Amino acid sequence: MIYLDHNATTPVLPEVVEAMLPYFKEEWGNPSSSYRFGSKLKTVIEVARAQVAELIGASPGEVMFTSCATESNNAAISAALGAAPGKRHIVTSAVEHSSVLTYCSAMEKRGYRATYLPVDREGLLRTADLENAVTDDTALVSLMWTNNETGGLFPIAEIAEICRSRGVLFHCDGVQPVGKAEVNVRQVGVDYASLAGHKFGAPKGIGALYVRRKAPFSPMLLGGHQERGRRGGTECVPLIVGMGKAAGLARLRLPQYDSNVRPLRDTLEEGILSTIPIAELNGHKSQRLPNTSSITFHGVDSEALLVLLDKEGICASSGSACLADSDEPSHVVRAMKPDSAASRQTIRFSLGTENDADQVDATLAGLAKVVRMLDA
Ligand code: PLP
């Protein structure tokens, strides 16, 4: 198998599995218990919290664990809207992940107004559009750090500055850049940022939400006092340990990530674009993550292409994994190129550190073969 879908999920790192195992096998207590067998696990959770905080430039007290980034995104938007009951407007973009878009459209049904900022043909956002969209009625701006389909970077520091100057809370879906590029929430000045452990070597089922110390927060999951009263529910200690371990490894390995992955991505991309005439790159050439390549194969149905690639042992996707089972075209590519069929003819390749040059060569050969079959 050649796995080129790291923006969907990443393999669980062996060191992470090792770190988690004792908390499945021997240390299975409840951290809220009064006796030591359980309560000692509180310290374990705090170590993991500090590891995640360090990776994103936050204080440990500003990080809460969640079950996934979908929960983090929902919880942040819910908290921000709850903090400004008189305001009924949300600004987001047309290319956000479904966990933001679906939540915003649910809020529209409850009487909120949402503005979905457009992007240009390269997937870039114009900050002037944001400035024009924010009004006195705006409770929250929710914009992603980098796009999951194209890897495109939004001007996150500028966006944060606009929100600050207009007195509007800013939530950032920071799922994709973590572990692939520098993420410093304090430097940028976001109020909330969502993370998913499984995008950087932890298992699925664990996420985190950064909540800036002075940002308002009210829990979405009401129950016990876990997570300092910000999220009821007994903590899943093994997964929290796993996310902490993965965060520590991501921090150590970040300096090499770009030089390991970018050349492979570039070789793959240049190989495709130079040998397959119907191929066209989506997104900005440089303002994007070093691992992602979104390519339209004009005239070729992306789902048919993915099935044949799978037969060649190559895993890629046509967009977000969360929408892969729907028949919908990519809303990201559609927002970039509304006048073309590209949203049904696009494949996302997202590489990771365990890929190598042989796999890139094999992908180029496999791709040339299946495109020839479909383009005949
Ligand atoms: N936000 C972005 C940008 C993502 O890519 C994803 C996952 O694909 C999510 C949010 C949701 O993550 P999860 O499925 O872990 O809830």
Q: What is the pLDDT along the chain (376 residues), one digit of tens a residue?
A: 999 999 999 999 999 999 999 999 999 999 999 999 999 999 999 999 999 999 999 999 999 999 999 999 999 999 999 999 999 999 999 999 999 999 999 999 999 999 999 999 999 999 999 999 999 999 999 999 999 999 999 999 999 999 999 999 999 999 999 999 999 999 999 999 999 999 999 999 999 999 999 999 999 999 999 999 999 999 999 999 999 999 999 999 999 999 999 999 999 999 999 999 999 999 999 999 999 999 999 999 999 999 999 999 999 999 766 656 666 889 999 999 998 899 999 999 999 999 999 999 999 999 999 999 997 6
- pLDDT score of 163: 98
- pLDDT score of 339: 86
Using alpha carbons only, give the angle 163, 8, 306 rounded to the nearest 5 degrees.
130
Q: Which helix (H) or strand (E) holds 37?
A: helix 36-39
Which atom of ligand 1 lies closest to the CA of 321?
8
- pLDDT score of 326: 63
- pLDDT score of 320: 63
pTM of this structure: 0.96
- pLDDT score of 323: 58
Ligand 1 contact via 362 beta carbon (within 6 Å): no
> Distance (Å, rounded) from C-alpha 254 to C-alpha 113?
39
User: What spacing in Å lies between the alpha carbon of 276 and ligand 1's midpoint?
Assistant: 31
Ligand 1 contact via 292 beta carbon (within 6 Å): no
Ligand 1 contact via 77 beta carbon (within 6 Å): no
Ligand 1 contact via 175 beta carbon (within 6 Å): yes
Ligand 1 contact via 300 beta carbon (within 6 Å): no
User: What spacing in Å lies between the alpha carbon of 320 and ligand 1's midpoint?
Assistant: 8
Which atom of ligand 1 lies closest to the CA of 204?
15
- pLDDT score of 375: 78
User: What spacing in Å lies between the alpha carbon of 70 and ligand 1's midpoint?
Assistant: 6
> 315 near 4, Cβ under 8 Å?
yes
Other CB atoms within 10 Å distance of the CB of residue 213: 9
Measuring CA to CA, which residue among 232, 218, 371 is closest to residue 305? 371
Helix ranges, 98-180 (H): 98-109, 127-133, 156-166
- pLDDT score of 351: 98
Ligand 1 contact via 149 beta carbon (within 6 Å): no
Whose alpha carbon is nearest atom 7 of ligand 1? 8
User: What spacing in Å lies between the alpha carbon of 195 and ligand 1's midpoint?
Assistant: 8
- pLDDT score of 227: 97
Ligand 1 contact via 196 beta carbon (within 6 Å): yes
- pLDDT score of 321: 62
Domains of the chain: 2-8+255-374 (3.90.1150.10), 14-250 (3.40.640.10)
Ligand 1 contact via 146 beta carbon (within 6 Å): no
Whose alpha carbon is nearest atom 5 of ligand 1? 148
- Written as one letter, the residue type at 46 is E
> Distance (Å, rounded) from C-alpha 57 to C-alpha 71?
21
User: What spacing in Å lies between the alpha carbon of 206 and ligand 1's midpoint?
Assistant: 11
User: What spacing in Å lies between the alpha carbon of 336 and ligand 1's midpoint?
Assistant: 20
- pLDDT score of 134: 98
Measuring CA to CA, which residue among 57, 361, 311 is closest to residue 184? 57
Most informative mutation of 198, 199, 317 for ligand 1 (most atoms within 8 A of CB): 199
- pLDDT score of 340: 85
Is 322 noted as a catalytic residue in this protein? yes
